[in-house]
Homo-oligomer: A and B are copies of this chain.
Amino acid sequence: MGSSFGTVFKLTTWGESHGPALGVVIEGCPAGIPLAVEDIQYELDRRRVGQSKVTSPRDEKDRAEMLSGVFEGVTTGAPISLITYNKDADSTKYENLRHVFRPGHGDYTYQMKYGHRDHRGGGRSSARETWGRVAAGAIARKILAAAGARVYGFTREIGGIEMETFDECEIERNLVRCPDPVAAGKMVDAIDRIKEEKNSLGGVVEARAVGIPVGLGEPTFDKLDALIGQAMLSIPATKGVEIGRGFAQSRLTGRESNDPFEIRNGRVRTTSNNAGGSLAGLSTGEEIIVRVGIKPTSSIEQDQSTITSDLEPATVKVVGRHDPCVVPRAVPVVEAMLANVLADLYLRNRASRIDWPDQE
């Protein structure tokens, strides 16, 4: 009862990690947008595992099929259904996890909520569900492109190592998607070390949106910030989200915090952007800046104390090809969710004003 996100541009994901298939239905995509399955596959490939040595070597064969909503290469306004089959997923290796609750995972909470769960690879709680979010995000990006806007993202921090320089061109040039090549090198080393220790690392992803029109956001509960909060904290393994300066802004004074308005190049701008592109929950036209804290991968190949579903003490070691650090792969997911929020608010915003006919 919570598998949908969005009001006008609405996505509904379905599927389990080791079920026959998984997918997403996107409602509310306007008619008239050129859309090919390759547009979507491009983003899916950025999310896919097995991209590099720092991520899982498993090949999920995330090939998308587009089954509806597009006719002769253009969207029709009907729901767009995207699906990928889970080929070759070997679930026998999860048999030993059937009756044991892995720490840091949803095994225990799902068992308690539903009384019955698909234990294979996390089932519904698996990060594999983000496939559909990224697929929808590719369509959201198309909608935003029509408005002249785009979204991008990068790794800001891994294992406590923070980027110090920013060059957007560097992002996709290194394994960890960090805009600072020096920091990227340190991050890769840190991941290599933690992998040997059969442990894992977390980090911080940042996403930004450029060219967003002023006024996106629906007061008071569907403010831009609020929907970003929901979107980001619905991604597996996330534990925090910030807009603009975020928590650091709490330590400024009002004088330092307020972004003064000015006219720059003929447009209304702010001289600083502490607010991260949002005032009173509406976009300001400045760059939207979001940071998301990702916890370290819960699956580690070490003995951990836990209990069984019969409430007996047990030890569990999670064997398998898990990412020692999911942060680089989380980048396209965070971007996609930001795009999904913005596309929805962009379409919703069309209803915010009416031109009242002159009273002659």
| A288, chain B: closest CB distance, angstroms | 12
B234 in contact with A240 (CB, 8 Å): no
Residues A251 and B14 in contact in the complex (CB < 8 Å), given A240-B243, A300-B258, A307-B263: no
At the interface, yes or no: A69 with Cβ under 8 Å from chain B? yes
List, in ascending order, chain B residues with CB within 8 A of A313's CB: 262-263
Select which of B16, B20, B160, B202 is within 8 A of A257 by beta carbon: B202
Give Cα A304 to B123, complex, Å. 54
A258, A263, A307, A349 — which one has the most chain B CB atoms within 10 A of its CB? A258
| A13, chain B: closest CB distance, angstroms | 6
Q: What are 30 residue pairs bridging A and B, where the CB atoms are less than 8 Å apart in the complex?
A: A2-B218, A4-B221, A14-B25, A20-B65, A30-B352, A33-B354, A71-B116, A77-B353, A101-B261, A103-B270, A106-B280, A109-B214, A109-B217, A157-B251, A159-B251, A200-B254, A204-B250, A222-B234, A225-B233, A233-B241, A233-B243, A239-B243, A239-B245, A242-B293, A246-B293, A254-B300, A260-B305, A261-B307, A262-B305, A271-B305
Q: Which one of A56-64, A79-87, A171-179 is at the B interface?
A: A79-87
CB-defined interface of A267-293 with B at 8 Å, one 1/0 digit per residue?
010110001100111111000000001
| A247, chain B: closest CB distance, angstroms | 4
| A329, chain B: closest CB distance, angstroms | 15
CB-defined interface of A8-45 with B at 8 Å, one 1/0 digit per residue?
10101111100111110101101111100000000000
Give Cα A275 to B202, complex, Å. 14
Write the chain B residue with the least CB distance to A299: B254
List, in ascending order, chain B residues with CB within 8 A of A204's CB: 247, 250
Given A104-B279, A110-B282, A122-B280; 10 other pairs, CB 8 A cutoff: A2-B219, A28-B351, A71-B118, A83-B83, A125-B220, A229-B230, A240-B240, A257-B295, A258-B298, A260-B306
* Interface range for A: 35 or more
A14 in contact with B68 (CB, 8 Å): yes
The 9 closest A-B pairs by CB, nearest first: A106-B280, A2-B218, A2-B222, A113-B215, A229-B229, A200-B254, A109-B282, A229-B233, A226-B234
B261 in contact with A305 (CB, 8 Å): yes
At the interface, yes or no: A297 with Cβ under 8 Å from chain B? yes
B74 in contact with A116 (CB, 8 Å): yes
At the interface, yes or no: A186 with Cβ under 8 Å from chain B? no
B238 in contact with A225 (CB, 8 Å): yes
| A196, chain B: closest CB distance, angstroms | 13
List, in ascending order, chain B residues with CB within 8 A of A350's CB: 350-351
Give Cα A4 to B226, complex, Å. 12
Write the chain B residue with the least CB distance to A305: B260
At the interface, yes or no: A210 with Cβ under 8 Å from chain B? no
Write the chain B residue with the least CB distance to A1: B28
B229 in contact with A239 (CB, 8 Å): no
A356 in contact with B33 (CB, 8 Å): yes
A116 in contact with B31 (CB, 8 Å): yes
